[in-house]
Amino acid sequence: MLRFVVVDDEPLALEILDGYLKKMGGVQSVTLFSKAREALHYLENNKADVLLLDIEMPEITGLAFLEQLSEPPLTIFTTAYRNYAYEGFELGVIDFLLKPISFQRFATAIDKVRDFLSLKKQDTQLEPGEPAPEFIFVKSGVNRIKLYFNEVTHIQGLKDYAIIHTGKEKIVIKGSIKMVQEMFPPSLFIRVHKSFLVLSKAIKRIERNRIVMDNHQIPIGRNYREAVERKISLY
């Protein structure tokens, strides 16, 4: 059961997101705010599991809002402006919804939150030591799982965790994206953003400032674009 806080200065946007959440199961509470300062005060004194946060607001931007929280909830940005995705992911948001938001896309984002929280409980870790050329072992409880590098499409850093995406599943491990990058071979993987590491050969195409890979769209950080273009020219 999840506790949601929704912050948006547009009444219609609040109404739509509140309606979407009422259609979903596993929702303990929904607290709505049209004024960002009131939401900040609330979050300083109350716990929430998920924050749905607009970016363009008159009192304070969503980016500045998130930076002021010492321990922000899992955050999904909601905005009409695609260009904010890059800054958002650098602040550790789990997803980015572009208005107008369909219920299907909204439900996908909430599923992503639930998956992350569920996988986080498994206490999965990359095994220390020198990885083999083709794989690395992942320790989950008493189990050891062989993870082949070429099955990994991309890794997303999220606060103190990393979400490893394969074609079949997601694995959440304790540790930063920087730690994962040091254990994954640079001949196969490329850092494309402060929060993303991608299997080079899995990149299908680049559209402006994002990478398109099957069902995923991954932002390219401004400081990484030149290296990304050099790398994909080899494939």
Strand, helix or coil for residue 10: coil
Torsion of CA 14, 16, 17, 23, to 10 degrees: 140
> What is the model's pLDDT at position 80?
84
Whether residue 128 is found in the same domain as residue 220: yes
Q: Which residues contact 134 (CB under 8 A, 6 or more apart)?
A: 148, 149, 150
Parent domain of 204: 124-232
CATH of the domain at 53: 3.40.50.2300
Judge contact between 109 and 133, C-beta under 8 A: no
Residue 146: strand pairing partners: 137
Whether residue 91 is found in the same domain as residue 140: no
Rounded CA separation 51/124 (Å): 25
Rounded CA separation 183/126 (Å): 9
Whether residue 42 is found in the same domain as residue 90: yes
CATH of the domain at 144: 2.40.50.1020
Whether residue 129 is found in the same domain as residue 178: yes
For the segment 110-129, what is each residue's pLDDT rounded down to a tens digit? 999 999 898 888 767 787 66
Whether residue 26 is found in the same domain as residue 100: yes
Whether residue 111 is found in the same domain as residue 132: no
Q: How many domains does the chain have?
A: 2
Two structure tokens written together for 131: 């990885």
**Residue after which a domain boundary falls, among 104, 120, 136:** 120
**Residue after which a domain boundary falls, among 120, 148, 166:** 120
Whether residue 142 is found in the same domain as residue 224: yes
Two structure tokens written together for 89: 């992911």
**Residue after which a domain boundary falls, among 96, 120, 144:** 120
* DSSP symbol at 111: H
For the segment 80-108, what is each residue's pLDDT rounded down to a tens digit? 877 766 677 777 889 989 999 999 999 99
**Mean of all residue pLDDT scores within the chain:** 88
Whether residue 15 is found in the same domain as residue 103: yes
Neighbours of 129 (CB within 10 A): 9
Whether residue 7 is found in the same domain as residue 93: yes
Give one DSSP letter per residue of 186-233, joined into a string: TTTEEEEETTEEEEGGG--EEETTEEEETTEEEEPPTTTHHHHHHHHT
pTM: 0.76
Residue with tokens 């050891």: 144
**How confident is the model over 9-38, as a mean pLDDT?**
96
Whether residue 110 is found in the same domain as residue 128: no
Whether residue 103 is found in the same domain as residue 131: no
Whether residue 85 is found in the same domain as residue 43: yes
